[in-house]
Amino acid sequence: MNVPLPWKTEIKYLGFIFSKTNQNNINIKYLRTKARRKINTLKSIAYKTYGPRTKDLISIANNSICSLFFHNCSTINKWLATHLNICDVIQTTALRTAMGLPIWTPNIILLKLAAQETLSGKIKRLATQFFLKYIAYGAHSPLYRNDGTQSVKLTNKDSSALDQILPAFNIDINHIIKFPITLDCLNIKCEIHLHSFLFQDKSLPKTTIEALFEDTIRTNFSNFFLIATDASKSPQITSIAGTSSTNSFTYRLQHINSIFSAEALALCQALDELPNDEDSVLLLTDSLSALQALANLSIKSHKIILRLAAKIATREKFHQNIVLLWTPGHADIKWNEKADMLARRVSESDLNIQWVSVEDIITQLKVHSENQTDTTYRGSKYYATLGDIPSIQTIAPWLKNRREDIIIARIISRMIITPALLHRFGLNDNPLCSMCKCDNSIEHILLYCRKYSLIRQSLCHRLHINLVGISMFKSFISIICSSQHAIRALFSLVKFFDIC
């Protein structure tokens, strides 16, 4: 058409606005407007007494509202603290709507009840995970050139985040297991036997499994060089071992490795150390999950599985026949028992292999982030009053409907509407109980008020407790949230306390 393309000061790509000036402000305004529309939609379905359950509304808040900030987390994590605080405000607004809690509910209690980490913290964690994944792609990553040198320099924020996290887990960036350089590993032809033989039935007696295994080896693998591997994970040590008729090995691993990764690393190490020039090698392992992952190999498989496949592919090039055989664990198969014994005997003084899977680092990051919410709550002033409160998702199976979800959340957080609470925020002139002449709070109503003494006695009788020994509100909450019977007992009488 010979029409010149117009100049633009900004362009939107994949939901993110790239602007010539003040890009961050434009994006936060755009995302905040979009989030507000979604929160208003959430309000329209959350206000109903018998509408969607709280746990489902929390999922909607996460997957529809908070997720707006996840897709571009590697860019958003570089925003100013002021902008990240806006993200947290959007998250807490959505969670208050989902849980039916008033606006003055403290954020610490809100996040603890919803079992959520702060949105700004999650954005930073996801950005770190993003760069860790690309580091693990090695030569296939845009972060590196073909010769392995770094082609893209990380910003100071991204680099410092990695520098803080990796040493905290005692990990060096060079020890992260990377994607194989070539893709030949995706076309391995080795046999993997998961349920091909009779002895692979764990329901059989141990003596039968052992006899069937020996018969299978004699019949089908008499000319194979046998290698057995195993892994062990205790609270202190993660270890691997391998054994053959001529040699064996034992190593200590980075404790961050999962048992899945350890089993796969044991197979890798066995292929490196134990076979000599044998034409046929039979690898025995009791890790069904590792062999299933290898049998369903794809470019998205765990990096440790791809490394194992690469080692098998290398041996196949030299016409070596590799067969992997699953053996039931703890079934008195002597090969497995020997490898298991070797793995369990590994101590702190044994040789250490530094390799670690990026998937295990990411899992540990998630666990650390989830624990951070608990740590923050335990360090706050609210812990002394409320104690170790459960999440709504934990007690949701014991509740019947949305109304009960809201009531229990407000009781646990001490945010249920009472004269004392309204007075605290200037919404009521008289905070005192008409009978007892003290603050008419939720603690007073449930534990001390003489007006409800008969109802309280009935509740104690149903819970088989003596309320005289319960002097603190957190002790009462701990008893109520300990079982379904206790919660149902409370809801059978809660309407007589005049709090809902």
Per DSSP, 418 falls in state -
CATH 3.30.420.10 positions along the chain are 184-356
The label of the residue with tokens 């076309």 reads 187
Query: What is d(CA 245, CA 419) in angstroms, rounded to the nearest whole number?
Result: 79
Helix, strand or coil for residue 191?
strand
**Tokens found for residue 449:** 């008020």
- List alpha helices for 223-357, DSSP H: 259-273, 288-295, 303-317, 334-344
Amino acid at 463: L
Q: What is the pLDDT of residue 82?
A: 92
Q: Which of 74, 68, 108 is nearest to 92 (CA)?
A: 108
Q: Alpha carbon of 279 to those of 225, 242, 276, 316: distances in Å?
A: 8, 19, 9, 10
Query: What is d(CA 330, CA 39) in angstroms, rounded to the nearest whole number?
Result: 53
Per the CB < 8 A criterion, the answer to whether 485 and 492 are in contact is: no
Q: What is the pLDDT of residue 469?
A: 64
Q: 428: how many CB neighbours lie within 10 A of its CB?
A: 15
Q: Alpha carbon of 23 to those of 8, 54, 65, 158, 267: distances in Å?
A: 14, 36, 21, 19, 50
Q: What is the pLDDT of residue 138?
A: 81
Query: What is d(CA 13, CA 326) in angstroms, rounded to the nearest whole number?
Result: 48
Sequence-ordered strand ranges (E) for 297-420: 321-326, 352-353
Q: 3: how many CB neighbours lie within 10 A of its CB?
A: 5
Query: What is d(CA 112, CA 392) in angstroms, rounded to the nearest whole number?
Result: 9
Q: What is the CA radius of gyration of the chain?
A: 30
Distant-in-sequence, close-in-space partners of 219: CB < 8 Å, separation ≥ 6 = none
Q: What is the pLDDT of residue 406?
A: 93
DSSP 209-258: HHHHHHHHHHHH-TTSEEEEEEEEE-SS-EEEEEEESS-EEEEEE-TTS-
Amino acid at 143: L
Q: Which of 188, 460, 398 is nearest to 312 (CA)?
A: 188
Q: What is the pTM of this model?
A: 0.86
Per DSSP, 324 falls in state E
User: Long-range pairs for 381-385 at CB < 8 Å and ≥24 separation?
Assistant: 382/106, 382/108, 382/109, 384/474, 385/414, 385/473, 385/474
The domain 184-356 belongs to what CATH superfamily?
Ribonuclease H-like superfamily/Ribonuclease H (3.30.420.10)
- Which segments of the chain have a pLDDT < 50? none
